[in-house]
Amino acid sequence: MLLLLHQYSPMKNYRFILEPYNGIKTRFVCPKCHKKNKFTKYVDLHTNEYLHDYVGCCNRKIKCGYHYTPKQYFENNNISLIKSNYFIKTEIKQKPNPSFIDSDYMTKSKNSKNPNYFIDFLTNHWNKEVAFELAEKYNIGTSNNWQGANVFWQVDINNNIRSGKIMLYNASSGKRIKKPYNHINWVHNILKIENFHLEQCYFGEHLLNEDKNKPVAIVESEKTAIISSVYLPEFIWLACGSVNNLNESKTKVLKGRNVVLFPDLNCYDIWNKKITVLTKLATFRTSTLLQEKATEKEKELGLDIADYLINLKI
């Protein structure tokens, strides 16, 4: 399917490269911004095959910036890279057990009296009672890492605390603070826990224990899951945390469930393609609601279901 990469010497000490330009057939639709002929895939020089459909780089570095590297792909799929002679070989490594955080840290952060801009946003949109109900339900804590920062604690189906994602939001708009840098960190990084192995679970996974028969809805961001749970309580709302964190390993906890995926508008095709793999244990389908209703501009912006729901009056 690819051109032969004979121009690259086997003595080069790498195995995966961005495919050299050889006409429009070597450029694809970007998984994030959905622009045609802008996405360059990584090629495996051993096989002359693409590594994966969404492993690559968008040429629109400023306006899009999507770049999913082979290293990220291997880490997310538990594949190790070992250098040997002039090549890089891949092999499956034995999966270490996930590390856990002591529950005292979560309790302390949930009881903190320090500013929490995300909870302030929830309070401003609804009221204090609803905001604190959501904070308790989804284990939303407060962090001192930045003024007003919150913690989205990841508690698995066995009530083990995998870690907490620290983020910073604008209290008025509810938008993430990304300037002068993207404000994201992890509790285990702040605590400097040695040999900590982070194996993420779905945000909100602990809620699966409340009702074994209730259908499950999965979105990308924690904020979207929290907001959507108010408007559409007939689902248990979970978040995977990023577009590439929807994977087979997390599906085990959804065995026997009916699951509906609500991807962001710029991720519909990526998530829809994953269903063939994810359906081994659960029944999956992808909601077409946003895809059918959204304008081209909204698709380009990558809006999610919460962007629509939050404008409704309840």
pLDDT tens digit sequence for 144-157: 999 999 999 999 99
Q: Which two tokens stand for residue 261?
A: 């995926």
Q: Does residue 8 sit within a domain?
A: no
- From 33, 23, 40, 29, select the one nearest 63 (Cα to Cα): 33
Domain that holds residue 60: 16-92
Q: Does residue 11 sit within a domain?
A: no
Q: What's at 195, amino acid-wise?
A: N
Answer yes or no: do 66 and 110 share one domain: no
pLDDT band, residue 184 (cuts 50/70/90): very high
Answer yes or no: do 127 and 203 share one domain: yes
For residue 301, the model assigns a pLDDT of 78
**Cα three-residue angle 239-244-249, rounded to 5 degrees:** 75
Please indicate whether residue 199 or residue 299 has the higher confidence score (pLDDT).
199
Contacts of 233 (CB under 8 A, 6+ apart): none
Counted domains in the chain:
2
Answer yes or no: do 112 and 83 share one domain: no
Last residue of a domain, one of 64, 92, 120: 92
Last residue of a domain, one of 92, 124, 141: 92
Q: Does residue 49 sit within a domain?
A: yes
User: Exposed, middle or buried by CB within 10 Å (0-12, 13-18, 19+), for 251?
Assistant: buried
For residue 73, the model assigns a pLDDT of 85
Task: Give the C-alpha separation, 219 to 264, whole Å.
Answer: 8
Mean pLDDT of 14-23: 85
Lowest mean pLDDT among 205-209, 236-240, 276-280: 276-280
Q: Does residue 232 sit within a domain?
A: yes
Last residue of a domain, one of 51, 70, 92: 92
For residue 193, pLDDT beyond 90: yes
Answer yes or no: do 193 and 66 share one domain: no
Answer yes or no: do 110 and 83 share one domain: no
What single DSSP character describes residue 169?
A: B
Task: Give the C-alpha separation, 89 to 264, whole Å.
Answer: 35
Q: Does residue 1 sit within a domain?
A: no
Answer yes or no: do 300 and 182 share one domain: yes
Answer yes or no: do 116 and 75 share one domain: no
Its pTM stands at: 0.73
For residue 313, the model assigns a pLDDT of 57
Answer yes or no: do 131 and 218 share one domain: yes
For residue 50, pLDDT beyond 60: yes
Answer yes or no: do 84 and 161 share one domain: no
For residue 80, pLDDT beyond 70: no
- For residue 125, give the 3-state DSSP assignment: helix
Q: Tell me the average pLDDT of the chain.
A: 87
Give tens-digit pLDDT for 204-226: 999 999 999 999 999 999 999 99
Answer yes or no: do 126 and 63 share one domain: no
Q: Does residue 10 sit within a domain?
A: no
pLDDT band, residue 141 (cuts 50/70/90): very high
Q: Are strands 161-167 and 150-155 parallel, antiparallel or unpaired?
A: antiparallel
Q: How many CA atoms lie less than 13 Å away from 109 in the CB half-sphere?
A: 28
Mean pLDDT of 275-295: 88
Mean pLDDT of 64-75: 86
Asked if 110 and 141 count as a contact pair (C-beta separation under 8 A), the reply is: yes
